[in-house]
Amino acid sequence: MRYRDNFLIDGKIVRKEKCVFLTKVCDEYRCASELDDLVADKLGGVQQASRCPQSSTPFIDYVDNTWLPFVERSKKPSTYAGYRSYWLRFIKPRVERYALRDFTVAIVSSLLEDVAKMYRVNEATAGKIRSVLSAIFTYAMGKGHFPGKSAADNPASCALIPEGASKPKETVGATREDVKAILARLDAQALTLERAAVALIAYTGVRPGEARGLRWEEWNRAAAQIKVTRSLWHAVEGTTKTQQRAIASFP
Per-residue pLDDT reduced to its tens digit, 153-168: 899 988 999 987 788 7
pLDDT confidence band for 169 (50 / 70 / 90): confident
Q: Which residues pair with 19 in a beta bridge?
A: 2
pLDDT confidence band for 188 (50 / 70 / 90): very high
Q: What's the pLDDT score for residue 48?
A: 60
pLDDT confidence band for 151 (50 / 70 / 90): confident
Residues, the chain = 251
Q: Which residues contact 90 (CB under 8 A, 6 or more apart)?
A: 115, 119, 129
pLDDT confidence band for 135 (50 / 70 / 90): very high
Rounded average pLDDT over 25-49 = 73
How high does pLDDT run on average in the chain?
86
Would you call 105 exposed, middle or buried from its count of C-beta atoms within 10 A (0-12, 13-18, 19+)?
middle
SS3 for 165-229 is CECCCCCCCCCHHHHHHHHHHHHHCCCHHHHHHHHHHHHHCCCHHHHHCCCHHHEECCCCEEECC
Reply yes or no on whether the pLDDT at 140 is more than 90.
yes
Reply yes or no on whether the pLDDT at 22 is more than 80.
no
Helix, strand, coil percentages (3-state) for the chain, rounded to 5, are: 50, 15, 35
Q: How far is CA 239 from CA 37, 174, 208, 232, in A?
A: 54, 27, 13, 8
Rounded average pLDDT over 220-227 = 87
Domains belonging to the chain, first-starting first, are 2-50 (no CATH), 59-153 (1.10.150), 176-249 (no CATH)
- Torsion angle of alpha carbons 138, 139, 141, 143, nearest 10°? 160
Quote the percentage of the chain above a pLDDT of 90. Answer: 43
Q: Which residues contact 124 (CB under 8 A, 6 or more apart)?
A: 168
Residue 134 one-letter amino acid: S
Helical spans, DSSP H, in 32-89: 36-49, 59-62, 68-74, 77-86
pLDDT confidence band for 194 (50 / 70 / 90): very high
Q: Name the residue among 218, 198, 204 with its Cα closest to residue 249.
A: 204
| Nearest-angstrom CA–CA distance, 209 and 232 | 5
Q: What's the pLDDT score for residue 113?
A: 94
Quote the percentage of the chain above a pLDDT of 70. Answer: 86
> Interior CA angle at 223 toward 217 and 228, to 5°?
50
Rounded average pLDDT over 70-88 = 95
pLDDT confidence band for 6 (50 / 70 / 90): low
* Tens of pLDDT, residues 51-66: 666 788 889 999 999 9
Around Cβ 156, how many Cβ atoms within 10 Å? 22
